[in-house]
Structures are given as structure tokens and as C-alpha cells.
Amino acid sequence: MRELLRSVWREPRPVPPSPRAWWDWALVAVLVPLAVAEGVLRADLSDRVFSVVVDIGLMSTLLWRRSRPLAAVAVAFGGVAVCSVVMGREFPDQDVMVYLLLLPFALFRWGSGREMVLGAAIMLGKVGLSAALGHLLPSDALAGVIVLFSAMTLGAAVRYRSRARARELDQVKLVERERLARDLHDTVAHHITAMAIRAQAGIATASTDPSAAVDALRVIDAEAGRALDEMRSIVRILRTEGPVDPVDLAPNPGVADLGRLVSLSRGGPAVAVEVDGELDDLPSPVAAAVYRLAQEAVTNARRHARHATRIDVRVVADDTEVRLRVSDDGEPRASGAPGYGLIGMSERANLLGGTCAAGPNADRGWTVTAVLPRSSR
């Protein structure tokens, strides 16, 4: 249960499609005349001018309920709680203020875990305050809690359904990318085979027929251009989003590029990189894996290590293997099922015949350790 509560508290906020849309303004435009009409036509409404003004004023929270859901809940429910205390009766008393139920829905749809917990406490505190002051009967207070809980549950259900749907779409896209990349790989392999055959033919005829060797070089040049175009197509397909920049077509980063990780320390924990051993002759896949594993570990440390002040990256190489160690000094993290990042890191290391593991330090902080053979299998 404790781990469940921690996971809820650390739940990140999903990115809304738009902080404010035209239908938000349309909703407010419809609710304003309804509030005015109810204030004029309801004979049993007391303090009608005050009620209508407060009602219309709180409608502004609907415009930023997605971008700042906790603030919207705090302003709306905190405002009506203050009005209930000042007026000495239950507030709101206008039927149109049922729109307040959109706020708990939005909180659990778009808020972070901390915001959901704090917002729920504010809303339930408002109901509890009204019951304690005698403005609500116990049965009415229970009904209010049930209604709020229903709105929050609906928001959470939509949130997690949307997340599951996004994962399904990502999986479908990934499978299709793999199929296309496999087809392109076969095409590239064909071009490389043709280049090898032409190169062998050119070598065999170079001494007796130089013109044939030149023709072979022309064919190799054309095949190399086609293969390069196909490789660029593979890069475009395997990218998850956005266009391909010229930088993306550059060679894979390696151990020599670990210094880039130091730039990540701006505005966060300081990153220190130490390299020990001979690493110039590492195979490209191993060198790229060392960089990618270190990059992912540093990113995870910056994202999850609370109150961390330093991240140490150390690479040590000998004649047979390369060892990577990334450690931070943050607060201990909750243990549980490994995230997708660690699973991907382990998979990359396993494909090269190595290992990758992560876990808490003896005192504080978290360490990622990877061991890769110098020669990729």
C-alpha cells in the first residue's frame, strides 16, 4: 500500500492537447447568461446579486482547468468555502454551479499525482467544513462526497484509458516501423552485395582491362549513393516523431562524446565524467552503447533522484571489457518493477553480450552499472 501511495504521489502530469480551446470560451459564454437568468428568475434565491457575481467570477477557472487544475480547484472550492463561512449558509446555492464538477474531473484527468491528492483534500475539506458548520445534513454531505468521488473517478478513468490507447498506437507504429526498416535493410544489403561483387570484378580486371575497373568503380559509386539514401530512409522511419535534422544523420556518438553529458547539468545536478583506459579502438556498436547507456542513466537520475546534487559517470576499460558506472547522491527511490528506460538499457547491453543493472546505494543515491565486452558479438 505504501508503494502504491508513493507511485500515485509521483505520477507525472500528462500533457494536455491545448491549455485552452474555443469550446472552453463557448462553455463560459453559455453559462454566463444561464447564471444571470437563474439569478433573476429564482424567487427563493437569497443575495442574488452576490451569488451571480461570485458564480460568474468562478467560471474563469474553467478556462485554465487543464493547464493548472490544482489552482482551479483551490480557487473555486476555496472561494465557495469562504463564502459559506461569511454568509453563514451553504454556498453555492445556484443550480448552474454544477459546472464545478468539471474541476475534479479535470484535476484527475490532467493533474499530477501531488495535485490530485492535494486537490481531493481541498474538495473534501469543503464538504467537511459545510457539514461541521451545520450547513449540510450528514446525508447531504455523504451525497456530495459521492458526487465528487464519481467526477474524480471518471477523470482518472479517462486519463488511464487515454494512456493505454496512446501505448497501443505507439506499439502499432513501432511494429510498422520495424517492418519498413526490415524491408529497407534487405534493399541496403542488396546494394552492398552488388558493390562487393563489382569491387571483386574490378580487382580481377584492373591489370588487363583498366577501363573495366573504372566501370566497376562507377557502378560501386552509384550503388553506394543508393545505399546511403536507403540508410537515411531507415533513420527517418525509426525516429518516433518530427523531421530528421542533418545532425541525426551524423555518426553515432561514442565514448569521446561523453563530455556532452556535462551540459545537462545546467539547472540541475552537476555531472562529472571520468574515463580510464584505452577506448580508441572500441567497435562502433560498443562505443555507441556506452554513450547511450550513460545518457539514459543521467537523464533518469535528473528526473527521479530527488535532492541530488551530483551525478558521477565513470568508464573503465581493460583488454576484455568496458565498465560503465553512473551514480547519484539523491534520496533513495522506491523499489519496484523496472521502468521502460532500464528495460531498454538492459536489452541494449544484452544484445552486445553484456549486462546492465541498477539499484540503490548502501547509504543514499542510485547506481547504474553496465559491463560490455570490447568486441560486440
What's the pLDDT tens digit per position in 206-242?
878 888 878 888 888 887 877 777 676 666 656 544 4
Q: Is the pLDDT of residue 119 over 90?
A: yes
As to burial, measured by CB atoms within 10 angstroms (0-12 exposed, 13-18 middle, 19+ buried), residue 46 is exposed
To the question of pTM greater than 0.85 for the whole model, the response is no
Structurally, the chain folds into a number of domains equal to 2
Torsion of CA 200, 202, 207, 209, to 10 degrees: 140
**Would you say 54 and 79 are in contact if contact means Cβ atoms under 8 Å apart?**
yes
Q: How many CA atoms within 13 Å lie on the side-chain side of 277?
A: 16
44-72 pLDDT, tens digit per residue, is 777 888 888 888 888 989 888 888 899 99
pLDDT at 326 over 90: yes
Domain membership flag for residue 122: yes
Whether 109 is covered by a domain: the verdict is: yes
Position 82 in a domain? yes
Lookup: cell for 246? 542533418
Asked if residue 42 is part of any domain, the answer here is yes
Say if 234 falls within a structural domain. Answer: no
Give the model's pLDDT for residue 76. 92
Confidence of residue 92 (pLDDT cuts 50, 70, 90): confident
Report the percent of the chain where pLDDT is more than 90: 22
Q: Report if residue 229 sits inside a domain.
A: no
| Helices first, then strands: H and E counts in the chain | 10, 5
Q: Across residues 317-343, what is the average pLDDT? A: 76
Q: Does position 244 have pLDDT exceeding 50, yes or no?
A: no
Pick the more confident residue, 214 or 370.
Answer: 370
pLDDT of residue 314: 93
Helix (H, G, I), strand (E, B) or coil at 360: strand
- 136, 170, 188 - which closes a domain: 136
Please report whether residue 346 resides in a domain: yes
Asked if residue 272 lies in contact with residue 310, where contact means CB atoms within 8 angstroms, the answer is: yes
Measured over all CA atoms, what is the biggest interatomic distance in the chain, rounded to whole angstroms?
110
373 pLDDT exceeds 80?
yes
Higher pLDDT residue, 250 or 8? 8
Q: What is the mean pLDDT of the chain?
A: 81
Which band of pLDDT confidence, cut at 50, 70 and 90, is reported for residue 245? very low
Instruction: Look at residue 303 and tell me whether its pLDDT is greater than 90.
Output: no
Instruction: Tell me the per-residue pLDDT of 171-184, one tens digit each, with 9 for 90 and over.
Output: 776 676 666 666 66
The stretch 16-23 carries a mean pLDDT of 70
331 is in which domain, residue-wise?
255-373
Beta bridge pairs of residue 328:
311
> The domain spanning residue 307 has which CATH number?
3.30.565.10
Domain membership flag for residue 177: no
- The predicted pLDDT at position 145 comes to 92
Which pLDDT does position 155 carry in this prediction? 92
User: Which one of 90, 107, 136 terminates a domain?
Assistant: 136
| Mean pLDDT on 121-147 | 91
Final residue belonging to a domain, choices 89, 118, 136: 136
Cross-strand partners of 276: 316
Average pLDDT over residues 317-334: 84
